Amino acid sequence: MSYRDKKKQKEWYRKHRLKCKINGICISCCKNKSTINKTKCNSCRKQESKNGKIRRIRMKKEGLCLNCCKLEVVKRNLCSLCLLKTKAREAGFNINQALTKFNEQNRRCAYSDILLTEETASPDHIIPICKGGNNNIDNLAWVSWEINQMKRHLGKEIFISLCKRVSENGPTNS
């Protein structure tokens, strides 16, 4: 299909959606009335939902990534790249910048220098959001999941000073 044909098809679809919205009919079947503030009728929405569930079940059985359909599932039914993207998105960071930062750190924990895998990597807000931090890339460090759980809402300096105190004092015999 040529660029011009794709452009015409896109324009037709845009006009079709607008016409259906004005007339209050479903954009999929063009028969039923769509529900308020929705573009599709209930039966089309149910069918789409059912098809999506069937697709996800089939992909899980075949061991495919639910996002990109790669055959390399690592965790949460996602491949390694999609898993990192999901973690970055859930933490509120820009996905592409977060992946660049992960590679800039040579896949190593910013605090312990442990080699990270997609499963063990966890995006960390250097200055926690609750302490006035933000979701800028300058406030991101990829760290080991266990270390991120220990750090929790502490700032980087406080966390590192606490770790030093623990390591200097060593185990106690109490």
- Residue 117 is given by DSSP the state -
Q: For 63-144, where are the alpha helices, taking DSSP H only?
A: 80-91, 95-104
- Residue 126 is given by DSSP the state S
pLDDT value of residue 109: 94
| Least confident interval from 39-43, 112-116, 142-146, 165-169 | 39-43
pLDDT value of residue 10: 83
Residue 47 — pLDDT band, cuts 50, 70, 90? confident
Specify the higher pLDDT residue, 24 or 132: 132
Domains of the chain: residue spans and CATH:
93-169 (1.10.30.50)
Q: Chain-wide mean pLDDT for the chain? A: 85
Residue 106 — pLDDT band, cuts 50, 70, 90? very high
pLDDT value of residue 77: 85
User: CA 38, CA 104: separation in Å to the nearest integer?
Assistant: 44
Contact between 94 and 137 under an 8 Å Cβ cutoff? The reply is yes
Helix, coil or strand: residue 144 = strand
Where would I find the beta strands (DSSP E) of 23-126?
A: 73-75, 78-79, 121-125
Instruction: Please state whether the predicted TM-score (pTM) of the whole model is above 0.75.
Output: no
Question: Longest Cα pair distance anywhere in the chain, in angstroms?
Answer: 78
% of the chain at pLDDT higher than 90: 34
pLDDT value of residue 100: 92
Maximum average pLDDT range among 17-31, 57-71, 135-149? 135-149
- Residue 35 is given by DSSP the state P
In the predicted structure, residue 174 carries a pLDDT above the cut 60: no
In the predicted structure, residue 60 carries a pLDDT above the cut 70: yes
Where would I find the beta strands (DSSP E) of the chain?
A: 73-75, 78-79, 121-125, 140-144
What's the Cα-to-Cα distance from 76 to each of 56, 63, 72, 84, 146, rounded to whole Å? 12, 11, 12, 11, 18
Backbone phi and psi for residue 126, each to the nearest 5 degrees, phi listed first? -55, -50
List, for residues 120-141, the tens digit of each pLDDT value.
999 999 989 888 989 999 999 9
List, for residues 62-98, the tens digit of each pLDDT value.
888 888 888 878 787 888 889 999 999 999 999 999 9
Contact between 139 and 155 under an 8 Å Cβ cutoff? The reply is no
User: CA 87, CA 58: separation in Å to the nearest integer?
Assistant: 24
